[in-house]
Amino acid sequence: MVEPGTSPAFIQWRIHSWRAAVELASHMHGWLYRGHANEGWGLTTSLERTAKQYNCPEITLGEQEEEILNQFKRQAHQHIASPPGREENVEWLSLIQHHGGPTRLLDFTSSFYVGAFFAMEDAVGNAVVWAINRQHLDNHLMNLTDQPELADHDPTVRTSAVRAAERCIRPSTPRAMQELGDALNAERPQQWEPDPVIGAPNVLAVKPWRLNQRMIIQQGWFLFPTSLDASFQHNLCGALGVPGQELPAKTPKTNLTEIKELLSNPESNLAILKMVFPRDVHLDAMRDLQRMNITAATPFPGLDGFARSLRFSLRIFDDLAEAER
């Protein structure tokens, strides 16, 4: 029996079979998934990775995001028939992300199977599916906004999350106007309270109001770090109530029954599950996913996705190599 509140916040599970992973996923209601082809990859956004690649200081990322948004907004009408409204910045960021630009958004999916496909499609070693308990993020947001009783009312939470995300994105106004706004805020009376979401590291689970075709097919979500002055991992620590900038130490688990017990316990504080898929599990998984019509042609509709899906035929050599071992 698991004692309330004593279960680990971060579990790593090295699965022994695809069937076991599917069984566990059937108990993970309300979780979000992200597949990685490499066991060593952490959770970082494309904006964070690009900034690190080009030695861009974190302190300037707010300005850089604003510039990226402005450039995209000014030219997207040449390529998009129905662009978002000018102030719908979450949707603008989702479009930039969709087309390969650097953003603070981190792609997740509500489908374990889609996450597993992305993990194993091109993996040459151990693959990973990161699973985040969305309820933890939603509870934290509603506590911050003094609406804890509404944490289970999904429409309210989703609206609150998008509105909070919009407030965290630097407004597209001239620097002089921003400085004037800062000065006015500084002169407000003492009873004025700052926005509890802005500034402090946190992560919001968001969807833009309008979903593109790929997000619909992939059952997509975004995790949105509220602070660009901190890494995504630091933001996630804030959302989970973990002190410092490092995620809690991973607790290795091998017993499927024990993990299922943690998932079913309403008092459990299990927030992150890192599912490691050894290379010898991949072929069974990919065959099963293909039977469910989850191939590259599905999450990437069009000729590009269809052509990408043709690589699956080469997996027969995996089978032959396995038989020779």
Structure confidence by residue, pLDDT tens digits, 204-220: 999 998 888 888 888 99
Question: Which pLDDT belongs to residue 321?
Answer: 55
Residue 48 CB contacts under 8 Å (≥ 6 apart), including other chains: 104, 231, 232
Question: Which pLDDT belongs to residue 141?
Answer: 95
Question: Which pLDDT belongs to residue 172?
Answer: 47
Question: Which pLDDT belongs to residue 325?
Answer: 55
Q: What does residue 132 show for φ and ψ, rounded to 5 degrees?
A: -120, 130
Question: Which pLDDT belongs to residue 68?
Answer: 95
What Cα–Cα distance (Å) separates residue 12 from each residue in 263, 269, 302? 14, 15, 36
Q: What does residue 95 show for φ and ψ, rounded to 5 degrees?
A: -70, -45
- List, edge to edge, every strand of the sheet that includes 127-133: 203-206, 220-225, 106-109, 31-36, 127-133, 272-277, 10-14, 251-253
Structure tokens at 304: 């590009």
What does the CA dihedral 264, 266, 268, 271 come to, rounded to 10 degrees?
80
Q: Which of 161, 163, 165, 169 is nearest to 69 (CA)?
A: 169
Question: Which pLDDT belongs to residue 189?
Answer: 53
Question: Which pLDDT belongs to residue 282?
Answer: 95
Parallel, antiparallel or unpaired: strands 220-225 and 203-206: antiparallel
CB 256 within 8 A of CB 27: no
> pLDDT tens digits for the chain (325 residues)?
444 454 558 999 999 999 999 999 999 999 999 999 999 999 999 999 999 999 998 889 999 999 999 999 999 889 888 889 989 999 999 999 998 999 999 999 999 999 999 999 989 999 999 999 999 999 999 999 999 999 999 999 999 999 999 999 975 444 444 555 566 566 555 554 678 888 789 999 999 988 888 888 889 999 999 999 999 999 999 999 888 888 888 899 989 999 999 999 888 889 999 999 999 999 999 999 989 988 777 776 676 666 766 666 666 556 555 555 5
Which residue type does 154 have? D
CB 204 within 8 A of CB 141: yes
Question: Which pLDDT belongs to residue 174?
Answer: 42
Question: Which pLDDT belongs to residue 231?
Answer: 94
Cα–Cα distance between 85 and 124 in angstroms, integer? 42
Whole-model pTM: value is 0.86
Question: Which pLDDT belongs to residue 104?
Answer: 97
